[in-house]
Each structure stands twice: as C-alpha cells, then as structure tokens.
Amino acid sequence: MNIEFFVYDEITPAMARDLGERLRASPSAPVTIRVNSYGGDLGAGLAMLNALRAHRGAVHVEIEGICASAATLFCCVGSVHMAENSALMVHAPWSSITGNARDLRDSAEGLDKMAEGMAAAYRQKTGKPAAEIAALLDGRDHWFSAEEALAFGLIDKIIPARRIAAK
C-alpha cells in the first residue's frame, strides 16, 4: 500500500502529527508527498522532514504547484519531481511575534537556530557550500522555476505539467 499525502494547505503541527501517525501505521510503505503549499509552521515542516527521513519506505515528492518557505523542506528527502510550470521559493524563517525588546531578541535567536536546521537540509540535498546556502536565507524571497530548481540541485527531475480535461 502506497501512502499518498497531500500538502495542499498551510503546514501546521496538526498536519505534521497526521503525517507522523500515517508513517508509523505503515513503517515500510512507499510514500508520495504531493506539494502545493506556500509553507507554514517551520517547526512542523522540520518535524515532517525528520519523520520522512526516518521512514523505512521509499519517499517520492511531487511538486504540483507552489512549493514555498517551509514546504521546500520536502525537497530534502527522497526523489523530488517538479512540474515544469511550478514555482519554488526559499527564504529565511520569520516570525510575527511582538513584545518587548527581550522577546524580540529571544525570537531572533530562535529563528537563527531554525535557519541552521533549514540550511543543513538544503546543504545535504544540494551539496552546495554553506555560503551559497546562506545566501538563500538572507531575508529575501528567492524564487526558482523548475529549470532553476533542477540546476541548483533542489529537485531531481522536471515532469510535464498535468493535462486536465474539462467535463
């Protein structure tokens, strides 16, 4: 039985828990992750990445639309195919926290630690040096076409856009 998991919404802790439970229920089953997401909770994204890395079954990721922010962590596990008309965006983690100066400093330190986890995953996937990966986490949005994502090493293959027939 193949596990098919759709990431077609915001990445949340509930989504991470759902994926973890499904993987634990079928620890050797092949998994297909279908992505069309602007990202979401980075902690949940890291948890999903780690659960997929620990999974004994083969993991295949198919980017079917947008793959942005925390969703790009799925590029760092298994074989990754991206539709030719899809887009991928990497940027540094951010927070909407407000508070006093100490709260903001604490939040910045936490974001730096989470960025280190993202950078390690991207380095492992692409084989790129730390400085090149750090440039992706500079606070700007870095957009990639399928061709650019393949050239950078974030994906393994470009696939044709799906044809959809009207009824």
Query: Which residues are catalytic, by number?
Result: 69, 91
Between CA 93 and CA 108 the distance in angstroms is 10
CA-based nearest residue to 70, from 111, 118, 134: 118
CA-based nearest residue to 117, from 53, 64, 60, 65: 53
Between CA 3 and CA 33 the distance in angstroms is 8
With both helix axes pointing from N to C terminus, report the angle between 101-126 and 42-54 in degrees, rounded to the nearest 10: 30
Cross-strand partners of 102: none
